[in-house]
Amino acid sequence: MPGRMERAPDLAALVAAERRESANFFEELTPRSGARPASAPTGSPTGTRPPTRTGLDITVALDLDRRVPPRQRAVADSGVRKLTLSSQHDQKGNLDTPDQVYLSEIVGIAHEETPGEALGKPARRRRKALMGDIHRRGVVALGLTALVAPLTLALGAAPAQAASSCTTSTGPYQKQAEKFLGRPVDGRQSAADCKAIRAFQAKNGITPTIGYAGPVTWGVMDLINQQKAVGKNPNKSGKCPVNKGRIACVDLTHQLSWIQDGKKLVYGPVPVRTGRKGFVTRTGLTKVYWRDLHHVSTLYDVSMPYSQFFNGGEAFHSVGLSMWNPPGSHGCVNMTPKDAKKYWSLLRTGDDVFVYGHKPGT
């Protein structure tokens, strides 16, 4: 108002208020002592409502993400709702497989329902209210960054980012890494070894990218070796049904997928990226019940090209990430754009999908 004298703000009181609001925000996002995440349910038969998770699993991209280093997150699990704040994006800026948790309580989608009708305004209204509350609290928590304790102290330390120089340390899997990369196998770190290991880490999104031959780096290399060993006979064990006609198979143990028709291999096997620990891709026999070529998450407005949903919110879809980028998706079966496009051309609504095995580390 013209002529009105503005009172100088009480800085101490303002900071105290910021701290209280921040504390309340992060208290809600911190697991209670003794709380245990709910286990993922098994798949449901076709024609029934998709399995519903105990909690609400969501990944949110908001102003908070632009200020917090990638992969820092706070998780709340009150036994009713689990909220994950994450900013792991692919190379094109798409959120890393939010996996569209299409719970009946959120969007009402079921196998027997028409997806276009299920994804209606109620879901968007609830999302808007939820996102608005998170956004408001996130902005408050990050308000006076120069006056409030750094956010990293509240969320926990993030994985180390790529260093400007190589480590001189010899890793516990030095010889294995050297052999995998075609380097002289002497078990001693050299500048050339480090450069080769760093290049592999950068290509596959392994952090910290410092050329250290640790368990994660070797784990990815070992998985690639196992995938190569499978060759063109991925169903040698006979675990994927051969009496279903055309079926998409997903081997979690080897992180491979292929399409077969009886005993005939139609396409693949190709490397895939399935659910990480806490978000494991559910096993069992299901069917493709919804396909959306240009799918965009109703909850997050995130692009998921070539989506073919087969178990609740789990779908085959493409991402711009390495298939060996740890730790994995939030439940979906990630594929390269080329493979996701091929799956789109080969599969139809009603085709069978069989997921089996156990992903290493989950």
Catalytic machinery residues: 317, 332
Cα end-to-end distance, the chain, whole Å: 60
Pairing of strands 303-311, 314-318: antiparallel
- Are the C-beta atoms of 287 and 300 separated by less than 8 Å? no
**C-alpha separations of 79 from 10, 215, 278 in Å:** 39, 33, 14
- Residue 230: enclosing H or E segment and its boundaries? helix 215-230
Task: Quote the strand ranges of the chain, DSSP E.
Answer: 58-60, 75-77, 82-85, 246-251, 256-261, 264-271, 284-287, 290-296, 303-311, 314-318, 333-335, 352-356
Non-local (6+) Cβ contacts of 220 within 8 A are 204, 206, 324, 326
Neighbouring CB atoms inside 10 A of 291's CB total 20
Residue 344 DSSP SS3: helix
Residue length, the chain? 362
The H-assigned helical ranges of 252-317 are none
Q: What are phi and psi of 339, to 5 degrees?
A: -70, -40
